[in-house]
Structure 1
Amino acid sequence: MTQKPRAPDSALVWERPEPASRPTPGPLSRDRIVRAALALADAEGLASVSLRKVAAALDAGPMRLYGYLSTKEELLELMVDAVYGEMVSTEPIPSGWREALRSIAHRTRKAADEHTWLIDLLAGRHHLGPNALAHLEASLAALSDTPGFEDIDAVLQAVGTVNAYVIGALRNEASELRAERESGMTQSQWQEATWPYLQRMIATGRFPTLSRVIRDATHPSLDVVFDKGLDCVLDGIEARLKR
């Protein structure tokens, strides 16, 4: 279906008023549309989200949705902002820059665990919805009065560095889960299937360090890997502060 073109002088979706409520053939609102899209994405993945499918879930015609948003991209922005709303509604960010950044990282990871499609939308330009801005404001404010972070550029650098680590780590976790779904094999099954090949390659003597990895590495859980990687990032920020 050809998407309805956006009027050139239209405001961002956050600032556009909703159409007047109509009781029939069924009441709609941006919130209802977004909730239906979230349920669809959580159940079937981001690729399944379309204005047609969301309209069908609401027992409405697709054209009715264009009174509330202009494009699928606006719907995705609304979905991301709804998840930021879930993150903002949790307990306040703790004091102390290290615990503040750790808390922000874990909030993002929890949201991505509950909405596995989210990681595909977090990279790129900053999200500008009200909940996303509230989350960013709280993140920056948690550091801005801390000794060593008097310069706002230092605050941006620290928050941005942690965010970059979190997105990278979550993309890696999501890739492993995607590989399991697409191959039909769990990580353990895949390792068992490839083990004879790895044994032959290690036996050549060409990969002594990889041999140590197989023999001596502890291969901790994803939770432990995430926290240890986050500690490395926070230790680096702390070292810069001390300099």
Structure 2
Amino acid sequence: MPRAGDGERNAAGVDPEQLWLRPAESRRGRKPSFSREQITEAAVALADAEGLEAVTMRRVAAEVGAGVMSLYSYAPDKETLLELMVDHVSGELPTTDARTGDWRADLKTIAHLQRALMLRHPWLPGALATRRSLGPHTLAFLESVLSALRPTGLDGAARLEAFAQLTAFVSGHVSYEIAQAAAARSADRSAAEARYLATVAADGHHPELAEALAAPGRPLTPEATFTRFLNRLIDGLDSD
């Protein structure tokens, strides 16, 4: 959210036609020393390094060596800048990979690509929750995913829902994964939590938990955990 003193302007909402279908109007006079692409790249780098809260029009202007007011013709507010950032990093997702014809395998590959993207840009899951439009890179990726889902026999609306469900799963899991990684940096906390669960499981009042904790262990690496959860999700997509 914009903060007082940042020179930000509140936005009633981003107009996708204005943002994506109409190129930025050229200005008369001296050619500007930066572009919308450079502004977006600077904002992405700032978010990657310091988190989304660090991205303000003032900070981005400083990164590109411009005055704050000069940014407004490219991104009139932070909401628009966020749309540009999300679509910019979405351009890292491949859209021309050959499909295997096995939609489950293809969808799992897509989900792993999404996870890798969100881990490179940890601010992205939070940004996806508030975005309002689909830019050209996002549309290209969506088209690719819908194509991968065609062998399911689902109609177009159901394939859109499947894409939304998959993205929501990946986004939520990565958010949890990042939070867990931060918590795991505290060895004392992790040890205390393990002792607590062992005590609770042994008290006789939580037999289901005791059975679950006594079950054979499974690989607990982030990649292995994500893959297990993903497999369960995808295996149920055609159960309707």
TM-score category (smaller protein): 0.7 to 0.9
- Do 2:152 and 2:238's aligned partners in 1 also have CA atoms closer than 8 Å? no
1:4/1:238 CA distance change after superposition, 3 Å: closer
- Unaligned regions of 5+ residues in structure 1, if any? none
- 1:113 Cα deviation from its structure 2 partner: 0.9
1:20/1:123 CA distance change after superposition, 3 Å: same
- Unaligned regions of 5+ residues in structure 2, if any? none
1:176/1:195 CA distance change after superposition, 3 Å: closer
Which residue number in structure 1 is paired with residue 36 of structure 2?
A: 30
- Do 2:118 and 2:171's aligned partners in 1 also have CA atoms closer than 8 Å? no
- Do 1:5 and 1:70's aligned partners in 2 also have CA atoms closer than 8 Å? no
Question: Distance in 1 between the 2:222 and 2:58 partners?
Answer: 37
Which residue number in structure 2 is paired with residue 218 of structure 1?
A: 217
* Deviant stretches of 4+, over 6 Å: 5-8, 21-24
Question: Distance in 2 between the 1:41 and 1:147 partners?
Answer: 37
TM-score for the superposition, normalised by structure 2 = 0.83
- 1:189 Cα deviation from its structure 2 partner: 3.9
Q: Superposition pairs for residues 35-114 of structure 1, below 5 Å?
A: 35-88=41-94, 91-114=97-120
Which residue number in structure 1 is paired with residue 8 of structure 2?
A: 3
Question: Distance in 2 between the 1:129 and 1:32 partners?
Answer: 17
What does the per-residue CA deviation read over 1:157-207, in whole Å, with 9 as the maximum and x for residues that have no partner?
332332232222222213323x43xxxx52654221233333433332111
Question: Distance in 1 between the 2:163 and 2:58 partners?
Answer: 38
Question: Distance in 1 between the 2:62 and 2:137 partners?
Answer: 27
Question: Distance in 2 between the 1:29 and 1:131 partners?
Answer: 18
TM-score for the superposition, normalised by structure 1 = 0.82
What does the per-residue CA deviation read over 1:128-179, in whole Å, with 9 as the maximum and x for residues that have no partner?
11111111111112222x2623x223322332332232222222213323x4
Amino acid at match of 2:159: V
1:239/1:198 CA distance change after superposition, 3 Å: closer
Question: Distance in 2 between the 1:202 and 1:31 partners?
Answer: 55
Question: Partner of 2:75: helix, strand, or coil?
Answer: coil
Bigger mean CA offset, 112-121 vs 213-222: 213-222
Identity rate, percent: 36
Whether 1:162 aligns to 2:166 is: yes
What does the per-residue CA deviation read over 1:61-84, in whole Å, with 9 as the maximum and x for residues that have no partner?
111101111110100100000111
1:187/1:100 CA distance change after superposition, 3 Å: farther
1:43/1:153 CA distance change after superposition, 3 Å: same
Amino acid at match of 2:82: L
**Number of matched pairs:** 231
